[in-house]
Amino acid sequence: MIPYLHLWNHAVPTFGLMLWLAAVAASFVMDRGFRRAGVTADAVGMVAVAVVAGIVGAKLWHVIDTPADFREMGWSVLWDSAGFAWFGGLVFGISALLLQGWRAKIGGLRTLDLAAPAAAIGYGIGRIGCFLSGDGCYGIAIKPVHLLFFSFRPWGMSFPNGIEPTFVPVYPTPLYELAAGLLIGGWLWWRAGKPRVSGAILGEYLLLTGTARFLVEFVRRNPKVLWELSNAQLASAGSVVAGILLLMWVAMRQVDGPAKAVEAVEKTA
């Protein structure tokens, strides 16, 4: 693992470097999405504000999720390089984009639709920072898996030089999340290029990213809090439910739209 890059006389945290790269990638994808949709607002500025809001939300949720860290480290936990909670970043980031979309007169849902592919790709790239730094966001120790008449041991790796070292093979969950983020982002980018009712892409984003995080939590080290689920899984389940409800609402709008158009034509005939 490479927690720090030593350049000249400076130690550059790889987590922070990958977070910066994730923001750059998200800015590029969202800017291209704005251009494709004919939106003239400042996509790069919106991403910058959303990233800052997401970091603040991720740190605050981490404090709520793991109060033991706060009791041990005090307020310094807020600027520690480790401890970023996915759900807090999601809520604060979405709130920042909603506000900016409203101020730019784009519309909140449309702004979130345009931002969804960038958010998924940026999140995936940001997970490379977790992998390189070995900050503890990896999985549980590898154990043999028994399936029907077969037994096998999944591939794993240790993080002996990480910020939170582990010397036994564990699930490299940041790599799983990197793959999921890129796949989901690519899918949403393709979907966003077609005519859609506002909210459709956001609904798919909430559904897909929530499902991915819910599944990966089964091999993560996070403690279980309710029904043998972690806080992140409960938050992910909420994301999935919100995505399904939003897609149902979008589907009703798609049905009502043509019906109302036919009704209007009949009245003018």
What is residue 36's predicted lDDT score, i.e. its pLDDT? 92
Instruction: Tell me what pLDDT residue 188 has.
Output: 96
The per-residue pLDDT for 130 is 85
Domain residue spans in the chain? 4-137+158-268
| pLDDT tens string 126-172 | 899 888 888 778 889 998 888 777 888 888 889 888 888 889 999 99
Interhelix angle 43-65/86-103, nearest 10 degrees: 150
Query: What pTM value is reported for the model?
Result: 0.81
State yes or no: pLDDT of 230 exceeds 70: yes
For residue 264, the model assigns a pLDDT of: 39
pLDDT at 63 over 90: no
Structure tokens given for 240: 């999935």
User: Is the pLDDT confidence value at 57 over 60?
Assistant: yes
Residue 207 pLDDT exceeds 90: yes
Question: Mean of the per-residue pLDDT values for the chain?
Answer: 83
Is the pLDDT score of 260 beyond 50?
A: no
